[in-house]
């Protein structure tokens, strides 16, 4: 559900919630991008998600229900033929469908949190609005071209493009649409530098164990690794998760604890491990891998032992 307020009331609501906070502080509470929030204030265009609207009312301690001009279904942009400019300088347009919150969306968000980047750059004549998920050009090829591209298509009706670097071993899966970027920002993610912004798992995923397992799968599939625990005993398997975003690292570890796992302490402010062998098999059963490179690596370790 999305909320459209009467003229100037959107500004009143946001300023009432801001009070003595900085824009950055308010954006963090709302789990929004700071620039996106300020843009809402200055232009007073579009609608506000029901979740953000309720948070703003709670923070400002005011009820703006009497100023609601219209309530829109989540698929409003598609049902009314809403078209949002894409990333191209030619001004081409892309429609997306709005998916419900489910396991597939949670897993895709995990992948974006892991190796993804959100670009939200607006200029006078054009803009860059992209979801870009990086990976290894060979090891992540099937995961990108088949699995993740299918998620984007099934969830949003959006086609992705694949770019392989000519200078290193990187590949990039790119989905371009302003409406798509707006959707993820509204859903708790942030554009720009993930480490600087301390982007993390959205609260609606944290509160649901089914969604949380799916999100963890996306995180481990992108920023995780399956390897031998020790060269002395090749039968022992370890799953590691490495990320330089301290908040995301801590929240991912806490999520595993919440789901009944016992990850190690964070090592060097950048990684932790699942090392108990019974928990490796618990992970495979309850969470699993969607990225073939992890399944292939696991099969190779088991076969070699």
* 133 strand-pairing partners: 116, 173
CATH fold group of domain 205-304:
Endonuclease I-creI (3.10.28)
Averaged pLDDT for residues 73-85: 41
pLDDT at residue number 14: 85
Q: In the predicted model, what is the mean pLDDT of the chain?
A: 83
Q: Which residues are CB-contacts of 124 (< 8 A; sequence separation ≥ 6)?
A: none
Yes or no: domain 2-72 corresponds to CATH 1.10.260: yes
Instruction: Give the dihedral of Cα atoms 267, 219, 106, 264; nearest 10 deg.
Output: -30
84-194 homologous superfamily: Homing endonucleases (3.10.28.10)
- pLDDT band at residue 3, thresholds of 50, 70 and 90? confident
| Range with lowest mean pLDDT among 6-20, 21-35, 184-198 | 21-35
Domain regions of the chain by residue span: 2-72, 84-194, 205-304
- Calculate ∠ Cα 116-73-122, nearest 5°: 40
Q: How far from 208 is each of 84, 114, 154, 189, 204, CA to CA, in Å?
A: 31, 19, 22, 17, 7
Using 50, 70 and 90 to split pLDDT, how confident is the model at 34? low
CA–CA separation, 20 vs 241, rounded Å? 38
Q: What is the pTM of this model?
A: 0.69
**Confidence check: pLDDT of 268 > 50:** yes
Q: What is the pLDDT averaged over residues 118-127?
A: 72
Among the listed ranges 75-89, 153-167, 202-216, 236-250, which one has the minimum average pLDDT value? 75-89
Supply the pLDDT for residue 39.
56
Backbone angles phi, psi at 64, to 5 degrees: -105, 15
Q: Do the two domains 84-194 and 205-304 of this chain adopt the same fold? A: yes
Give, for 136, the enclosing helix (H) or strand (E): strand 127-136
What Cα–Cα distance (Å) separates residue 109 from each residue in 33, 174, 260? 16, 14, 22
Give residue-wise pLDDT tens across range 130-178. 999 999 999 999 999 999 999 999 999 999 999 998 889 999 999 999 9
State the pLDDT at residue 87: 38
What is the 8-class DSSP label of residue 267? Answer: B
């Amino acid at each position: 559900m999305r909320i459209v307020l009467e003229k100037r009331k959107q500004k009143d609501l946001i300023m009432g919630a801001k009070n003595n906070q900085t824009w950055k502080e308010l954006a963090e509470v709302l789990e929004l991008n700071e620039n996106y929030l300020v843009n809402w204030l200055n232009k007073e265009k579009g609608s506000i998600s029901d979740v953000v609207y309720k948070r703003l009312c709670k923070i400002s301690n005011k009820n703006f229900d009497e100023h609601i001009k219209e309530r829109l279904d989540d698929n409003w942009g598609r049902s009314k033929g809403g078209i949002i400019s894409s990333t191209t300088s030619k001004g081409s347009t892309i429609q997306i469908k709005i998916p419900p919150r489910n396991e597939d969306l949670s897993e895709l968000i995990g992948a974006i949190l892991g190796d993804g980047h959100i670009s939200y750059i607006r200029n006078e004549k054009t803009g860059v609005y992209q979801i870009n998920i990086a990976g290894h050009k060979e090891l992540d090829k099937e995961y990108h071209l088949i699995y993740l591209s299918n998620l984007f298509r099934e969830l949003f009706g959006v086609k992705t493009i694949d770019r392989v670097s000519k200078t290193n071993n990187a590949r990039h899966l790119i989905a371009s649409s302003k409406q798509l970027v707006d959707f993820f920002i509204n859903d708790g993610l942030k554009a720009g530098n993930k480490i600087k912004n301390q982007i993390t798992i959205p609260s609606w995923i944290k509160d649901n164990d089914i969604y949380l397992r799916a999100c963890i799968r996306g995180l481990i599939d992108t920023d995780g690794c399956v390897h031998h625990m020790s060269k002395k005993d090749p039968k022992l398997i370890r799953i590691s998760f490495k990320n330089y975003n301290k908040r995301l690292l801590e929240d991912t570890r806490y999520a595993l604890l919440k789901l009944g796992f016992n990850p190690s302490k964070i090592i060097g402010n950048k990684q932790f491990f699942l090392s108990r062998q019974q928990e490796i098999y618990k992970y495979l059963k309850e969470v699993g891998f969607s990225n073939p490179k992890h399944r292939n690596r696991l099969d190779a370790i088991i076969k070699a032992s």
